[in-house]
Amino acid sequence: MSSVERSDQAPRWYGLGANTAFEKSAWWSAPARSRSQDAVDASARAWNAAHPDPDERVEARRNADALHLAASQDLDELQARRDRESEQERQKASEMGRAQQERMRELMSWVDANSPIKERDIHPHHEPDRKRSYSRGRGVERSR
């Protein structure tokens, strides 16, 4: 057998027989049907046994489809409402951001052009001086 085991077989290193309880309950031998599916099938069989009339079954299916359609339309409406609300929130946030930027521009227009705030370099680390060169383990010749 190759190094890649087949998913329906126990790995070689377990050394178990084909029909042990451990192998049947393990992850590589998942049951063909789940308990919930068995319960759904059992309830469907019970309902069909209690309602043998084919017209009644067709009507019940139509009613179930109508309920499903109504529920899905309700969900679509809720999703559309949430999308509209989130769009309104996004617009409100962008308006607040624009107002904040406008206020910052107004405040910066009040700052004197010769102020040390404007003269100060925003990114001083892009031009390292001698001390920074040595502290980073580089020589002066590399910083020139």
Share of the chain above pLDDT 90, in %: 19
29: part of which helix (H) or strand (E)?
A: none
What is the residue whose two structure tokens read 């910066």? 108
Q: Model pTM greater than 0.75?
A: no
Q: Which of 48-52, 107-111, 121-125 has the highest mean pLDDT?
A: 48-52
Q: Does the pLDDT at position 5 exceed 50? A: no
Q: 1 falls in which pLDDT band (50, 70, 90)?
A: very low
Q: Single out the residue of 119, 94, 118 nearest to residue 107, CA to CA.
A: 118
Q: With contact defined as beta carbons under 8 Å apart, do 42 and 35 qualify?
A: no
User: Tens digit of pLDDT for each residue in 76-119?
Assistant: 999 999 988 888 899 999 999 999 999 988 888 877 666 665 55
Sketch the domain layout of the chain as residue ranges: 1-30, 113-144
What is the residue whose two structure tokens read 């190094």? 3
Burial of 119 (0-12, 13-18, 19+ CB in 10 A): exposed
Separation of alpha carbons 132 and 126, rounded Å: 11
Share of the chain above pLDDT 70, in %: 54
